[in-house]
Amino acid sequence: NAKRKPLIAGNWKLNNNHLESIALVQKLAFALNDADFDAAEVVVLPPFTNLRTVQTLVDGDKLKIGYGAQDISEHDKGAYTGEVSGAMLAKLGCSYALAGHSERREYHHEDDAIVNAKVKAAFANDITPILCLGEGLEVRKAGNQVAHTLAQLEGALKDVTAEQAARLVIAYEPVWAIGTGEVATPDDAQEVCAALRQRIGELYTPEISRETRILYGGSVKADNIAGIMDKSDVDGALVGGASLKPEEFVKLARLG
Ligand code: PEP
């Protein structure tokens, strides 16, 4: 997979106010500042209120850190109190937005149709959606993780064109492994990531399938990233808890 650059994305969730985000981004930038750092593309996903601050730091110092949002509205504008549109995120220089994180699906009742609309809203604004998919514990115990995750993929990609799909990033995040310390084995991650890649090929083209970056997420830390990255269909990680600790996240960015 020489063509696929590893992507390490830090999902800060509901953590860090804008001052704390300055401190964290500066620590990351300082640690990753060597000219030949090229192990991975590094992205942070702060709360909405911190995006302007992060934009200013990244632009002002030409930092090698990308950033994006943890969510995106499916609507463009109008009477949708509390929502933030793709156009607003694009104006702040966001390159990425999560779509369908399991916490949004669970606590904000986002179903596949809403996730599909969010994926399309991201593409419409030249933002790369990081489409989050993955099964809960019951589905895993029943051995249905592949079928479940592929169904989520197809729901989220309804009416997404090949041109758009060529820019998609997928994050396979088994819900039972998020924030639990219960990391899936590299083989568990590979099984579902390979199935996702194959289905992308069936839905679109072999070339798009080969080039799509598929991340694993769920209790990834500096000491387990290498085993996950060894797998041929895993191209990086979506990291929650460990992305809040600068030293840990820098080790992750260096792939362990
Ligand atoms: C996540 O929320 O996307 C995630 C993977 O969290 P954690 O790394 O804390 O399990």
Complex ipTM: 0.96
Q: Is 83 a catalytic residue?
A: no
Q: Is 200 left (phi over 0), alpha (psi -120 to 50) or beta?
A: alpha
Closest atom of ligand 1 to 219 CA is 10
Question: In which residue ranges of the chain is pLDDT below 50?
Answer: none
Could you please state the CATH topology (level 3) that the domain comprising 7-253 is classified under: TIM Barrel (3.20.20)
| Residues 6 or more apart in contact with residue 135 via CB below 8 angstroms | 144, 145, 148, 149, 174, 175, 176
Q: Is 184 in the pocket of ligand 1 (CB under 6 A)?
A: no
**Quick one: pLDDT at residue 1?**
55
Q: Is 173 a catalytic residue?
A: yes
Ligand 1 centroid distance, CA of 103 (Å): 10
In this structure, are residues 144 and 112 in contact, taking their beta carbons and an 8 Å threshold? no
Provide the residue ranges of all domains of the chain, joining segments of one domain with +: 7-253
Q: Is 240 in the pocket of ligand 1 (CB under 6 A)?
A: yes
Ligand 1 centroid distance, CA of 188 (Å): 16
Q: Is 45 in the pocket of ligand 1 (CB under 6 A)?
A: no
